[in-house]
Amino acid sequence: MDKNRADIDEGFKRPSPSRVQISAIVILTTTGLIIFYGLTTISFHYSSTNKFCSAQCHEMIEPYQQYLKSSHYDSSRGVVADCADCHLPPGEMNKWYAKVRQGMKDTIMHFLLRPEDFDHQKWKVSAAKNIRSEACLKCHKNLFPSELQRGGLLGHKAFKRGEVKSCLNCHQNLVHMWRES
């Protein structure tokens, strides 16, 4: 047998890990994964709550106050849409992606901006670009309710035919504007 071959065989003869070692590795890895999953899930859900989205950051005070007066919070039937219902796309993977991307941007802005730099009008444009109509359709499943006005009927037909791409093309200032009263 040549020398290289012998070295290789020698390599295979290394003492195999004991059962105790294998069990330890399996148990530690599983526990690690469970803890990791738990923590990310908790932080994911906490950072998606209305409280986190608004109360933690001064730049969100105005949008939050407007939201409290909007038809999506103060609705006639008491049905409430949370910030994340509109601002995050449906689907777990999409949600994660949008949150990480938007979260990093928001965090950077939070530390860089002074209150006098807040440009809510500019933010409206970029926020609207990131809101997907699928998020609206999660709740507004029926676009043709019986009491819909003719204007709405025509608009929603145009949406169904793909002539108008987004709900927000027509429904601007949906939540974040000051209402009378």
With CA atoms as reference, report the closest residue to 107 among 64, 53, 156.
53
Does the footprint of ligand HEC cover residue 155 (CB under 6 A)?
yes
Least Å distance, CB 126 to ligand HEC, is: 7
Return the range that interacts with ligand HEC (CB under 6 A); candidates 4-12, 13-21, 32-40, 125-133: 125-133
Q: What angle do CA 4, 17, 11 make, to 5 degrees?
A: 0
CA distances to 69, 121, 171 from 176, in Å? 9, 10, 12
Exactly one of 50, 88, 89, 98 binds ligand HEC (CB under 6 A); which one?
50
Does the footprint of ligand HEC cover residue 173 (CB under 6 A)?
yes
Tell me whether residue 34 or residue 154 sits nearer to ligand HEC (CB atom): 154
Tell me whether residue 30 or residue 126 sits nearer to ligand HEC (CB atom): 126
Task: Give the binding-site size for ligand HEC (rule: CB under 6 A).
Answer: 51
